[in-house]
Amino acid sequence: MFAVIRTGGKQYRVTPNAVLKVEKLEAEAGSTVTFTDILAVGGEAGLTIGSPIVAGASVTATVLAQDRLDKIIIFKKRRRQNSRRRNGHRQHVTVLRVAAINAA
């Protein structure tokens, strides 16, 4: 069984016991998060696609940690002007483990 959820402006295909990193959520490590913005649910019975969401479907996940991704370097250079700018960024993410998919 799988589901397609939408959180943080992105879409993720999740399966039970899958570990994924999403945009930062306001939740403590060890707590449970429920997603109700389910775009599609698939399994043995077939695929159910919402318009735009599947009514009554939900995905529950456990928060494993609040983490940061690897640093990316932003380097801007203007040619022939001796102008350079170097900047770095580490995005905050929430690490989740999917507990259950309720297809309703």
- CA angle 104-102-1, nearest 5°? 110
pTM score, two decimals?
0.83
pLDDT in tens, 62-98: 999 999 999 999 999 999 999 999 999 999 999 999 9
Residue 92, Cβ density class (10 Å: 0-12 exposed, 13-18 middle, ≥19 buried): exposed
In the three-class reduction of DSSP (H, G, I as helix; E, B as strand; rest coil), residue 9 is classed as: coil
Q: Read out DSSP for 10-46?
A: EEEEE-TT-EEEEE--S--TT-EEEE--EEEEEETTE
